[in-house]
Amino acid sequence: MNYFPDHGDDGYQVGRYDLGLDYRVGPNRLAGTARLSATAAGGLDRLALDLGTFRVGKALVDGAPARFRHRRGKLHLTPARPIDSGAEFTVEVRYTGNPSPVPSPWGGLGWEQLTDGSIVAGQPTGAPSWFPCNDRPDDKARYRITVTTASAYEVVANGRLTGRRRTGANTTWVYEQDEPMAPYLASVQIGRYQFLELEGPVPQHVFFPSSAERDVRHDFGRQGAMLSAFTRLFGPYPFGLYTVVVADDELEIPVEAQGMSIFGTNHVDGERGQERLVAHELAHQWFGNSLTVGSWSDIWLHEGFATHAEWLWSEESGGEPAAAHARRWHHRLAGQPQDLVLADPGPGDMFDDRVYKRGALALHALRGVMGDEAFFGALREWTSENRHGTVTTDAFTALADRHAGRSLEAFFTAWLREKELPPLP
């Protein structure tokens, strides 16, 4: 089921985004040029991009001016010449304005001003708040993100920093995201940050306000060990590096992006009081960012897996075993309304806490049914076979059947397709 039918265009697939952004922090003013390289799924005499409340100055398709109409978050383009089925083509859009979050049932999504800087929190439909895109989770592309802003600020975006050049009072930053990425996971963070590198199996960069240095060093001090544990349990970390940004503001919840997680100063206390969130966001790099759902109805494949990873880290680090977390949450969920289908919760409930916790419970129960060797072997194959790809619930259940050596249809029907909470095995 398509939860957001007004977003995305299935008439083409984007292979690469090249985003050039000039941003002024004080007035929250953005001037952008977006170049997209795409392939037509069928013959196209028109196409649509998702784009928020900007003024579009020019649109080109294959270098030729295209007629365009921009309204209600959609940029409709009519190329000068129709595009053949299977043909590669380019789109260039030049736009200006004040980026603002995209309205949603969960509040504004996307580009948002901080007290001194900006943040991007795009899940699930916030990408059009700052660039024109094909806003579908299954349309994954490579990115180059170039940002010019005042030199007093650090710019952090997805991927690896490949260039930084100061000109006068401004600095231009260039980031390359080599692995395919869904639009909602693209991110730019701007602030007055310090930099710290953590030890671990892959490079880990942390950007944070200087006032929070002591708390940040302590609260993220076990992240390297966490990364090693998850690599053993889930398979190799799927990206070249992992970046954490602690924004100099309070945030309601941490934010995931590809190869990056964003926390607020309220998520660090110097006592590792929110370490489960550190584990949750790190686990999303496997489950959500490398493996991304093709349809939002399968969001338990992101949130259930990341919540289950919190319990696994608790167990790995000498805290409560996963079974204790499972018993406690099963008891809590048993007392809540039994009206949610995990594998298709509906757009209104896709971020309901029951999706997170019941998803984790389903995995814990599956671990009990399969045994550790088969269960973790299945997880490692899941992340390997679908690395940087698109995933579905049906594909996961089929893989689990194979590793279990028998049909688990009754188990999955009870946990994923029916509303009533099953007992723990």
Give the residue numbers of the binding site for Zn(2+): 280, 284, 303
Catalytic residue among 275, 281, 310, 316: 281
Tell me the C-alpha distance between 299 and 239, whole Å. 21
Check residue 297 and report its DSSP letter: G
Catalytic residue among 356, 373, 409, 420: 356
CB 261 within 8 A of CB 255: yes
Of 221, 383, 253, residue with least CA distance to 317:
221
Active site residue 193: no
* Residue 358 CB neighbours (<10 A): 27
Q: H or E segment at 276?
A: helix 275-283
* Residue 157 CB neighbours (<10 A): 28
Tell me the C-alpha distance between 381 and 235, whole Å. 8
3-state secondary structure of 294: coil
Active site residue 310: no
Distances (CA, A) of 142 to 13, 60, 163, 183: 12, 20, 17, 10
Q: H or E segment at 147?
A: strand 141-150
Of 268, 307, 269, 270, residue with least CA distance to 287:
307
Tell me the C-alpha distance between 124 and 102, whole Å. 10
Check residue 396 and report its DSSP letter: H
- Count Cβ neighbours within 10 Å for each residue of 119-154 and write b for 16 or more, e otherwise: bbbbbbbbbbbbbbbbbbbbbbbbbbbbbbbeeebb
Cβ neighbours of residue 308 under 8 Å, at least 6 residues apart? 322, 359, 360, 363, 364
Cβ neighbours of residue 140 under 8 Å, at least 6 residues apart? 180, 181, 182, 292, 388, 389, 390
Check residue 413 and report its DSSP letter: I
Cβ neighbours of residue 352 under 8 Å, at least 6 residues apart? 340, 345
Structure-block tokens of residue 227? 């990364």
Q: Look-up: residue for tokens 């970046």?
A: 243
The catalytic residues are 281, 356
